[in-house]
A = this chain, B = another copy of it.
C-alpha cells in the first residue's frame, strides 16, 4: 500500500509539475506557463499559432513560414505526394526536387490542408440531444443527428470545413472550423536518403541526423495564397534549456483510458495490429525486391507500415511493463470515488471492452478493410455507400457521407493519381491471405484467393476517374445495374460489412457515455487542468530543449553535420546509412559544426510530425519529426526523464539550403523582414 500511495502522489504531482499536456487552443495553461517559465501567453500569440499551423490530412502537421503561402512540413509527411508526383522516369523521392521559380512548382493531385480558424463549445447542444434512457441504437442515432445538424449549419453559415471534435472520450464536444486548401504545390524536397538517413534502423532513436523537411505552397484561384499569419524563421535556433512550443496535430493518446481499455489494447488490439503490420511489411518487402519499379511503387506503403510497426511495438512494450500498468492502476484507484456503488462507469467499460474484444478483429479486417487492402476496393465501397446514403437525411447518414464531409471525400475519390492494377492485385491477395491466417477468411466462392483477387481487380474499371464519376452521378440506379467486378463485390457484401459497423458504432456510443460519466468525476477533482487525449486536432505543447542520459551516457541536446558524417563512416555507408552524392561531394562547403537535430521535453505523439517548434517570440526555431524510443510510452504516460521529441534545427535547414541546394530564393522568402 505504501508503494501504491507513493506512485499516486508521484503521478498526480507529475501531472501538475511536468511539461505534460497537448493543450486545446481554447484552454491553454496560461497560469502554469507564467508561474514556471514567466511566460505570458497572449491571445495574439495564440491566434497566430492557430492560424499559421496546418493540418496535413494525410496524417501530419505543418506551418506557414512566409506571408505568401509557403508551408513547411516533414519530408515523411510530404513523401506520399512526392511519390505521387514521381514517375518511373523522374523519381523525385530519390533525387529530390527544387522549383527555382513559381512556375516550376508542381501541383499535388489530391492533397488537402486544413487551417483552424475558430473553436466553439457545443457540448450542451450535443448532450441535450442524447437523452438518458435511450437504447444504444437510439443514442447513436440522436448523436449522429445533432452532429449533422451542427456541422451542416456551420458549413452553410461560414463556408468553412466544420468538424465536431469529441474530447475526453465523450465529455466535451467542440466545433472546429477550418479554412481548406486543395491547390497545393510542391516547392522543395531533399533526397529521401538525407531526409530519412538511418532509415528504419534509426527511426525513433536519438542521436539523429535527418533533414526531414519539404516545402509546399498553397494557392487560391491559381495564385499563391496570402497567409498573413505565419512563423518567422529564426536564423539562430533554440539554445539549451530554452522554453519551446510545439503547435501541431497529435493523432491519438490513451492516457485517460481506463485500465480495462488498456488491457484490451495489450491483449487484443495491439497483438493483432502488430501481427498485421509485420505481415504487411514482409509482403511488401518481398514485392519491392522484385526490381527497381516495384521498389519505387512499394516504398509509399512501406514507410507508414514500418513506422507504425515500430511505434506500436513501443506501445506494447509499455503496456506489458508492470511498472507502467501499476502506475495506471494507482491513478485509476485514486480517481475512483470511495463508494463502490459509484464504480458503475468503470464496470460498464470493462463489459464494453470484453464485448469489443470479441468482434474487433473481424471489424478491423472487413469494415476497416485490413483484409481488403486495395484502393480500388475502397473506391467501390464509397460509391456503393454514397448511392445508398446521399438520398438519406444528413443526420441519418454514416458520418463520412455528411454534407460537411462530402467535398473532401469527393476530392479524394476523384483523385487522378494513377492506380497500378498489378500493384493493387498484389496487395489484395496479400491482405486476403492475412485474413485467412486470422481464421476469418473470406468466402471466395470456391476460388483460390489469388484467383478471386485477380477476378476482382482485372474486372473493374474503377481505375478510370471518368468511370468513378459516372457511377457517382448515376446514383443508386447506376450502382444497381453495374456489372463492374469490384462494384458487384462491394454491393453484395455491404449488408454484411454494415452489420459489424453498426455493432462497433453502438458499442462505441456506450463507451462514450461511460467515459463522459468518468470525465465528470475527473472534472470535479481536477477541473480541465488535465489535457484531453489527442484527437488529431490542433494542440499546443511546451517544454525545454535538453539532452538526457542513457545507460550512463550523456546525449547532448543537438547533433551536428560533423557527427552525421562520422555515423555514415562508422556504418560503412551501408544502406540506410548511405548519403546522397550531393552531401558526400558537398561536405567541405558546409559549416560542420552547424546544429542538425535537437531534442526537447515537449509533449508530442504521432501526428505531430511536421509541427513547427516555436520560441517565446513565436519564431520558427525547428520542425518536429520524431520522438525517441523512450517517448513511445507517451501514449499512456508522460515522462520527461528520457523521453524527447526530435526536431530539425532551423540553422541546419538554412545552412543546407544555402550551401548544398543553391536555394537562395527560398532562403530569402524565409528570412525576409
Contacts and interface: CB of A to CB of B under 8 A. Distances in A.
A320 B448 CA distance: 7
Contact of A292 (B199, B321, B571): B571
Interface residues of A, number: 43
Interface in A407-423: none
B444 A322 contact: yes
Given A317-B433, A433-B316, A437-B271, A323 B289 contact: no
A201 B322 CA distance: 40
A267 B321 contact: no
A274 B433 CA distance: 12
A316 B278 contact: no
Contact of A571 (B200, B270, B291, B571): B291
A290 interface: yes
Interface stretch (A226-234, A395-403, A572-580): A572-580
A568 B267 CA distance: 46
B292 A323 contact: no
A449 interface: yes
B292 A574 contact: yes
Interface in A237-295: 267, 270-271, 274-275, 278-279, 281-282, 286, 289-292, 295
A133 interface: no
Interface string A138-170: 000000000000000000000000000000000
Contacts of A446: 322
Given A322-B448, A448-B321, A282 B286 contact: no
A282 B283 CA distance: 12
A570 interface: yes
A1 to B, nearest CB: 16
A262 to B, nearest CB: 14
Given A281-B282, A447-B322, A448-B322, A201 B438 contact: no
Given A201-B289, A576-B289, A320 B267 contact: no
A441 interface: yes
A267 B447 CA distance: 19
A2 interface: no
B267 A439 contact: yes
Contacts of A76: none
A627 interface: no
Contacts of A281: 282
Given A572-B292, A576-B289, A279 B282 contact: no
A282 B289 contact: no
A455 to B, nearest CB: 14
Nearest to A449: B320
A309 B282 CA distance: 9
A436 interface: yes
Contacts of A439: 267, 271
A266 to B, nearest CB: 8
Interface string A431-445: 001001111010010
A327 B138 CA distance: 51
Contacts of A320: 433, 436, 441, 448-449
A438 B321 contact: no
A310 to B, nearest CB: 8
Contacts of A321: 448-449
A499 to B, nearest CB: 24
A278 B437 CA distance: 13
Interface string A315-359: 011001111000000000000000000000000000000000000
B447 A316 contact: no
A286 B438 contact: no
Contacts of A441: 320
A201 B285 CA distance: 9
Contacts of A274: 279, 437
A433 B201 CA distance: 19
A202 to B, nearest CB: 8
A437 B575 CA distance: 30
A291 B320 CA distance: 28
Contacts of A267: 439
Contacts of A286: 200-201, 310
Nearest to A287: B201
Contact of A570 (B200, B275, B291, B317): B291
Nearest to A432: B320
A316 B282 CA distance: 15
B437 A316 contact: yes
A107 B425 CA distance: 50
Nearest to A450: B317
A289 B199 contact: yes
23 contacts: A200-B289, A201-B289, A267-B439, A270-B437, A271-B439, A275-B278, A278-B278, A281-B282, A282-B282, A286-B310, A291-B570, A292-B572, A316-B433, A316-B437, A320-B436, A320-B441, A320-B449, A321-B448, A321-B449, A322-B444, A322-B447, A323-B448, A575-B575
Interface of A: 199-201, 267, 270-271, 274-275, 278-279, 281-282, 286, 289-292, 295, 309-310, 316-317, 320-323, 433, 436-439, 441, 444, 446-449, 570-572, 574-576
Given A274-B279, A292-B572, A295-B574, 19 more contacts: A199-B289, A200-B289, A201-B290, A267-B439, A271-B437, A271-B439, A274-B437, A275-B278, A278-B278, A278-B282, A286-B310, A291-B571, A292-B574, A317-B433, A320-B433, A320-B441, A321-B448, A321-B449, A322-B446
- Nearest 3 pairs between A and B by C-beta? A201-B289, A271-B437, A278-B278
